[in-house]
Amino acid sequence: MARMPVLLLILWPASAWAAEPPDMTSALLRTGWALLVVVGLIFALYGLSKKRLLLGRIGGNAIRLIEVRPLQPRATLALVEVRGREYLLGISANSIHLLADLSGDSGQKPADFSTVLAEQS
């Protein structure tokens, strides 16, 4: 009696050989359905990942990234607006530095070099 499951497992692949091979239409339909399932899974995972990544941005609009410029492979300049004020940040692999506060005098025309030099001395 214990030999029966073993014999069944040995002969089971032989029964698959005895079945007639699928025709081209059924093979094409099965391949098409499998492709649709895989593409559907890819879209579902993409949608979930976008939704999960955007969860942190739903809360507020206090910080807005205006522009980012890469300088080197591990260093970038970022122009950031925080509550109506603009900041220029230098971002490296290990730190972030405030380079300039650009929010002051945004509506005025920039002064020439001699005026700025006179104000600084």
Q: Is 11 domain-assigned? A: no
pLDDT at 64 (0 to 100): 87
* Residue range of the domain that includes 27: 23-57
CA distance 90 to 77: 5
In a domain, 95, yes or no: yes
| 90 vs 71: CA distance, rounded Å | 10
Full-model pTM: 0.41
Question: pLDDT above 90 covers what percent of the chain?
Answer: 22
Q: Has residue 88 been placed in a domain?
A: yes
In a shared domain, residues 107 and 80? yes
- Is 10 within the bounds of a domain? no
Q: Are residues 43 and 70 in the same domain?
A: no
Residues 67 and 87 in one domain: yes
Model confidence at 110: pLDDT above 60: no
